Chains A and B, each alone.
Chain A
Amino acid sequence: MSEAKQLNDRINKIKAHKPNPTVAMALSILFAGLGQIYNRRYFKGILFALFEIAFIITFGEFIGLGLWGIFTLGEIPGVDHSIFLLVYGLLSIILIVFAAVFYIYNVRDAKKQAQAILDGWIPPTFKESLKAGYDKTFPYLLTTPGLLLLIFAVVFPLMFAISLAFTNYNLYNSPPRHLVEWVGFSNFTNLFTNNLWRNTFVSVFSWTIVWTVVATTFQITLGLFLAVLVNDVRVKFKKLIRTILILPWAVPGFVTILIFAAMFNDEFGAINRDIMMPLFGLEVPWLTDPTFTRMVLIFIQTWLGYPFVFALFSGVLQSISNDWYEAADIDGASRWQKFRFITLPHVLFATAPLLIIQYTTNFNNFNIIYLFNEGGPAVQGQNAGGTDILISWVYKLTFDTNNYNMAAAISLIIGLMVSIFAIFQFRRTAAFKEEGKL
């Protein structure tokens, strides 16, 4: 009896309160949580207000410095460190975006709830609202840790790289002696108007494309070929063969590349000394002639890369229903026809996204190029080695010559190209179409 009365009292009390949505909104804009308190959602209101106070106390000063820093990049050489200021600025912007999201939610919430109360909505009890809040925010709870890490490990570095592309940060403008300045698009114009930059870019870019296409296609073809062979019903010891074929994937690439580099040493490596010399009387300049180095690189990448594709295809092949082949046999299809019209479409369709990722990975396959011969051998008339791909060139610009600004500009261009390719391809493949929009 008394419980029902209590409830009734509560409802009456709430009904007596008629909040004005605009006032609630205005209050929340003034300070987070005020609108909620006005709506008599005390717990939420105080929580929001505490959030804002804590945020201002913790980050206020940092954000002030950061924003000043990112605009000016410092004013006094030796005292202000432009790069540190830039980083503080970017972090401040991230913090502000967090705050803005929270603030917008706070304002909308104040207005919405005021409106709802006017419309006769009975706010749940504290316990109930906690439960409802948990249900509603559950997916956000799940994704928040990941999102936070992503922002700091992926988005923030990317913001930094983008910023650098518009500064003049190189050896001669380095802090502490100098201040870095914003220079607009001049790095990009430089890249395309200065001869040495342009020539290097064009030649590195063309080799990068050749490298990506040839090496990846080889590894996919070899993987497919071997997978089809192992899948043949007549082959015995399948498990053993699979294990051996998968070995190059199992041995760390970092180690194998360095081992290959040693094996292909022109004078003292095993290939020339133990194979080429005794068998053919030849000493092939593996590491000193760009053409040979490129061939070896493609060979090694095929060696390293096919097992992944092989493993993938083996799995898919086993899942292709036999009915297809039986039907084809009845129609009198040749073996090639069966492969061409049943097997190939099946595996390619099923694995398309992963194959695309293979291409984009090789496009940025820094390790093999750098570890094998550091992008060498040298060629004349350019600012990069004969086997440098864009990414290894960027590495050299960054760590060898401190051309941070150009490295960043080139990285942006690479990123744009790869992502446009990827978006285009993802959209084309059925697997992604299913997901709807990108």
Chain B
Amino acid sequence: MLTLKKRTIGLLLLVASLLFIAACAPDREEVVEDEDRAEGEMPEKPDELVVWINDEDIAEDVHQEQFDRYTEETGIEIVLERIAMPDQLEELALAGPGGTGPDLFFQPQDRLGDAVVQGLAVPFSYTDEELADFSDAAIDAFTYEGDIYGAPVAIETYFAYYNRSLLDEVPETIEDVLDMSLDIRAEDSDMYGFLITPEFYYLYSFINGYGGYVFAEEDGVYDPDDIGLDSEGAIEGMEMYQSFITEGAMPRTITPDVLDGLFIEGRAAMVVSGPWNLPHFREALGDDLGTAPLPVINNEPAPSFVGVKSWLVSFYSNNQEWAEDLAKFLTNDENSQYYYDITGELPPRPDILDTIDDPIYAGYTEQVEFGTPMPNIPQMSPVWDMDEAIELIVNGNDVEEVLEEAVQNIKDKIELQGGQ
């Protein structure tokens, strides 16, 4: 054991050396802009670019082919890494400064705010002609504080699938849907008429259909202080939804997994789901499969959340210009068409959308028109807690009370996270 005195000496030594060294701030290289480079001229080509794609087999198939095309054109090798989309931002925040991050990554627009607030993504420079090729909704979805942050790859929304063998006629309004469901349930309790996953993403249609909203919006700028999820419209919409449960038209716990399964087995006449299920459903139901826009809610075509997925350029990329070039290449007409051909997801490019004549896409393309982009500010993330409120509503709690409390919670959380 050290004696007290010696400990003190040691401590003094330590502190002295600490202070001595601590004074050294790192030498910083003066930030020199490459001024001698002419406007619009590209910097030297890198040998390779690293791209993070979503962790899906089909994504790898389609992107690999696109990357090969780019390599052929420019000679730049593309390193593909599969990282699940929901994990990419978190990984990037660590891998980027660690020097192992990507040049280009892939995100939906509702995470854009998180990315921009942390400074992980850098804006694109688009010419007006380039912009004209994309649909406005897609560009809006990736505009944040006036800058455009992404090269949109796909626009998607959910719509109605139905099984022709169980449904003679697609019910037009949500009230019709309820009646149809009750009829089917009355006949055979193992069958379901209409299924929608009890998640805010889907039920937004009910809320917005009656006039509820997430954040008040003006000229593309959201006001996180004005939340309309407990407005009269929102309450009315959720009560409409709740009646499906209370009247026994829908089971209480449906997961997307269960919903898909029931529909594939032919035990559900009509379900709300997204384009990612189209291949599975078509394989299972064949010609019996039909699609339609969502039923009319409150005398208007029902709105739905539109999601846009996009390539983003990493702040940590050493080749931001080339990464942007690659992103633009991946979303040009030719590659967008290819992406659609393989995945069946719609590219937000009107030229391509117009050429799609497969009737199975009718519901999808029609529904996109009624869509509202999901808010892309980071204050959106506590809003997904609405899923929990929905769980409570499903379990029979009073809608108004639940929503009021949910909104209060969301506001508190936004504040707790420092978002106000």
Do A and B interact?
Answer: yes
Q: Which residues of A contact B (CB under 8 A)?
A: 29, 60, 63-65, 67-68, 71-72, 75-79, 81, 83-84, 96-97, 100, 103-104, 107-108, 168, 170-178, 194-197, 265-268, 285, 287-289, 376-378, 380-381, 383, 385, 399, 401-403, 406
Place the interface of chain B in its size category: 35 or more
Q: Is B118 an interface residue (CB 8 A)?
A: yes
Closest Cβ of chain B to A7, distance in Å, is 36
Closest Cβ of chain A to B132, distance in Å, is 31
- Collect the chain A residues with CB atoms within 8 Å of residue B21's CB: 60, 63-64, 67
B409: contacting residue among A67, A194, A197, A380, CB under 8 A: A380
Q: Is B38 an interface residue (CB 8 A)?
A: no
Contact B378 A175 (CB under 8 A): no
Give the distance in Å from the alpha carbon of A78 to the alpha carbon of B119 in the complex. Answer: 8
Give the distance in Å from the alpha carbon of A338 to the alpha carbon of B18 in the complex. Answer: 65
B253: contacting residue among A77, A168, A266, A383, CB under 8 A: A266
Give B87's nearest chain A residue, CB to CB: A399
Give the distance in Å from the alpha carbon of A171 to the alpha carbon of B405 in the complex. Answer: 24
Give the distance in Å from the alpha carbon of A174 to the alpha carbon of B405 in the complex. Answer: 29
Give the distance in Å from the alpha carbon of A225 to the alpha carbon of B353 in the complex. Answer: 69
Contact A401 B417 (CB under 8 A): yes
B1-35 vs A, Cβ < 8 Å mask (1 yes, 0 no): 01000100110011001100111111010000000
Give the distance in Å from the alpha carbon of A381 to the alpha carbon of B413 in the complex. Answer: 11
Give the distance in Å from the alpha carbon of A108 to the alpha carbon of B54 in the complex. Answer: 59
**8 A-B contacts (beta carbon < 8 Å):** A29-B13, A67-B21, A81-B97, A96-B14, A196-B409, A266-B252, A288-B253, A378-B388
A171: contacting residue among B17, B315, B395, B417, CB under 8 A: B417
Give A403's nearest chain B residue, CB to CB: B417
- Collect the chain B residues with CB atoms within 8 Å of residue A266's CB: 252-253
- Collect the chain A residues with CB atoms within 8 Å of residue B40's CB: none
A383: contacting residue among B23, B315, B406, B416, CB under 8 A: B416
Contact A196 B413 (CB under 8 A): yes
Contact B119 A77 (CB under 8 A): yes
Give B387's nearest chain A residue, CB to CB: A378
Q: Is B43 an interface residue (CB 8 A)?
A: no
Contact B18 A171 (CB under 8 A): no
Closest Cβ of chain A to B291, distance in Å, is 26
Closest Cβ of chain B to A59, distance in Å, is 10
Contact A197 B253 (CB under 8 A): no
Closest Cβ of chain B to A304, distance in Å, is 24
Q: Is B268 an interface residue (CB 8 A)?
A: no
Contact A172 B378 (CB under 8 A): yes
Q: Is B289 an interface residue (CB 8 A)?
A: no
Most buried by B among A79, A104, A265: A104
Contact A68 B24 (CB under 8 A): yes
Give the distance in Å from the alpha carbon of A344 to the alpha carbon of B260 in the complex. Answer: 54
Give A103's nearest chain B residue, CB to CB: B13
Contact B418 A68 (CB under 8 A): no
Give the distance in Å from the alpha carbon of A76 to the alpha carbon of B30 in the complex. Answer: 13
Contact B416 A197 (CB under 8 A): yes
Contact B258 A268 (CB under 8 A): yes
Give A99's nearest chain B residue, CB to CB: B17
Closest Cβ of chain A to B63, distance in Å, is 26
Give the distance in Å from the alpha carbon of A175 to the alpha carbon of B118 in the complex. Answer: 6
Question: Known interface pairs A65-B26, A103-B13, A171-B378. Does A267 touch B419 (Cβ–Cβ under 8 Å)?
Answer: no
Q: Is B120 an interface residue (CB 8 A)?
A: yes
Give the distance in Å from the alpha carbon of A96 to the alpha carbon of B388 in the complex. Answer: 49
Closest Cβ of chain B to A436, distance in Å, is 15
B395: contacting residue among A29, A60, A107, A288, CB under 8 A: A288
The 7 nearest A-B residue pairs measured at CB:
A177-B119, A378-B388, A174-B118, A172-B418, A64-B24, A67-B22, A266-B253
Contact A71 B389 (CB under 8 A): no
Q: Is B93 an interface residue (CB 8 A)?
A: yes
Contact A401 B381 (CB under 8 A): yes
A172: contacting residue among B2, B117, B316, B412, CB under 8 A: B117
Question: Known interface pairs A104-B10, A196-B412, A399-B90. Does A170 touch B392 (Cβ–Cβ under 8 Å)?
Answer: no
Give the distance in Å from the alpha carbon of A399 to the alpha carbon of B381 in the complex. Answer: 12
- Collect the chain B residues with CB atoms within 8 Å of residue A171's CB: 114, 117-118, 378, 417-419
Q: Is B402 an interface residue (CB 8 A)?
A: yes
Give A77's nearest chain B residue, CB to CB: B119
Contact B417 A172 (CB under 8 A): yes
Closest Cβ of chain B to A386, distance in Å, is 9
Contact B97 A176 (CB under 8 A): yes
Q: Is B286 an interface residue (CB 8 A)?
A: no
Give A104's nearest chain B residue, CB to CB: B10
Contact B253 A267 (CB under 8 A): yes
Q: Is B391 an interface residue (CB 8 A)?
A: yes
Give B7's nearest chain A residue, CB to CB: A104
Give A382's nearest chain B residue, CB to CB: B409
Give the distance in Å from the alpha carbon of A268 to the alpha carbon of B96 in the complex. Answer: 43
Q: Is B279 an interface residue (CB 8 A)?
A: no
Contact B120 A176 (CB under 8 A): yes
Contact B26 A289 (CB under 8 A): no
Q: Is B249 an interface residue (CB 8 A)?
A: no
- Collect the chain B residues with CB atoms within 8 Å of residue A175's CB: 93, 97, 118-119
Closest Cβ of chain B to A30, distance in Å, is 12
Give the distance in Å from the alpha carbon of A76 to the alpha carbon of B387 in the complex. Answer: 39
Give B386's nearest chain A residue, CB to CB: A378
Give B254's nearest chain A residue, CB to CB: A267
Contact A75 B25 (CB under 8 A): yes
Give the distance in Å from the alpha carbon of A267 to the alpha carbon of B190 in the complex. Answer: 12
- Collect the chain A residues with CB atoms within 8 Å of residue B25's CB: 68, 72, 75
- Collect the chain B residues with CB atoms within 8 Å of residue A173's CB: 418
Q: Is B394 an interface residue (CB 8 A)?
A: yes
